């Protein structure tokens, strides 16, 4: 449902413009992290970030690779390191790098897409700060099923 709420909001906003869809997706992720009705204590924006990636893949770029490349990075990093937090951060960073490389341009829409994707990466990394510290200390819980 976290993914779906972002995709739905971006689909509605995409009828206005690609820029509206991008900023709507980012706003959904921020709202997920700081929900008003939960006293601003929300999630870590990973599921909503993947919703954002589905949204930009479907409504902005019309290219599924913008979703599947970060998903592949997530699976590889999860398999290698067994930490969901590390895999999540690697996936969102890979998406921002891919978007930056593919959108390198001077037109305002390209710049907005790049900025929104890096703001998403910063949000996910910031929300995982305690996980990063636990990984560095060696106390982060690893998955055992993979």
CA-atom Rg of the chain in angstroms: 15
Number of domains, the chain = 1
pLDDT for 58? 95
Tokens of 95: 């998406």
Q: Examine residue 91 and state whether it is found in any structural domain, yes or no.
A: yes
Q: Does 144 map to a domain? A: no
pLDDT tens per residue, range 95-117: 999 999 988 877 888 888 899 99
Domain span holding position 119: 2-137
Domain assignment of residue 100, yes or no: yes
Does 145 reside within a domain? Answer: no
Of the candidates 76, 99, 97, 100, which has an alpha carbon nearest to the alpha carbon of residue 88? 76
Residue 143 falls within a domain, yes or no?
A: no
CA distance 87 to 93: 10
Please state which of the ranges 3-12, 33-42, 66-75 shows the lowest mean pLDDT: 33-42
Query: Rounded to whole angstroms, how far apart are CA atoms 49 and 54?
Result: 9
In a domain? residue 146: no
pLDDT at position 91 is: 97
């Amino acid at each position: 449902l976290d993914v779906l709420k972002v995709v739905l909001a971006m689909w509605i906003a995409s009828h206005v413009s690609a820029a509206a869809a991008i900023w709507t997706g980012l706003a959904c992720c921020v709202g997920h992290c700081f929900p008003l009705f939960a006293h601003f204590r929300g999630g870590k924006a990973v599921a909503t970030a993947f919703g954002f990636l589905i949204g930009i893949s479907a409504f902005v770029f019309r290219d599924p690779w913008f979703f599947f490349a970060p998903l592949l990075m997530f699976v590889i990093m999860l398999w290698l390191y067994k930490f969901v937090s590390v895999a999540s951060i690697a996936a969102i960073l890979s998406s921002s790098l891919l978007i930056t490389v593919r959108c390198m341009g001077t037109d305002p829409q390209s710049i907005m897409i790049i900025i929104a994707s890096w703001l998403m990466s910063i949000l996910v990394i910031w929300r995982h700060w305690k996980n990063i510290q636990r990984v560095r200390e060696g106390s982060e819980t690893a998955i055992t099923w993979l």
